[in-house]
Amino acid sequence: MSEQVNAVTLYRSPTCACCHEYAGYLEGKLGSTVEVVNKADLSGIKAEYGIPENVQSCHTVDWGDYFVEGHVPYEVVQQLLAAEPEIAGIALPGMPSGSPGMPGEKTEAWQVYAVHEDGSVEEFTSF
pLDDT beyond 70 at 1: no
**Predicted pLDDT at 6:** 54
**Predicted pLDDT at 46:** 97
Please state the rounded mean pLDDT for residues 100-121: 95
**Predicted pLDDT at 2:** 43
Burial 12-40 (b: 16+ CB within 10 A, else e): beeebebbbebbebbeebbeeebebeeee
- Average confidence score pLDDT of the chain: 92
Residue type (1 letter), 21: E
**Predicted pLDDT at 127:** 85
pLDDT beyond 50 at 50: yes
pLDDT beyond 80 at 83: yes
CA atoms within 13 A on the CB side of 43: 1
Name the 3-class secondary structure at 58: coil
Percent of the chain with pLDDT over 70: 95
Nearest to 77 by CA among 94, 56, 61, 96: 61
Task: Check the CA dihedral 10-14-16-20 and report its sign.
Answer: positive
**Predicted pLDDT at 3:** 42
Which pLDDT tens digit goes with each residue over 5-37? Answer: 557 999 999 988 888 899 999 999 998 899 999
**Predicted pLDDT at 5:** 54
Confidence of residue 40 (pLDDT cuts 50, 70, 90): very high
Task: Answer left, alpha or beta for residue 64, where phi above 0 means left and psi between -120 and 50 means alpha.
Answer: left
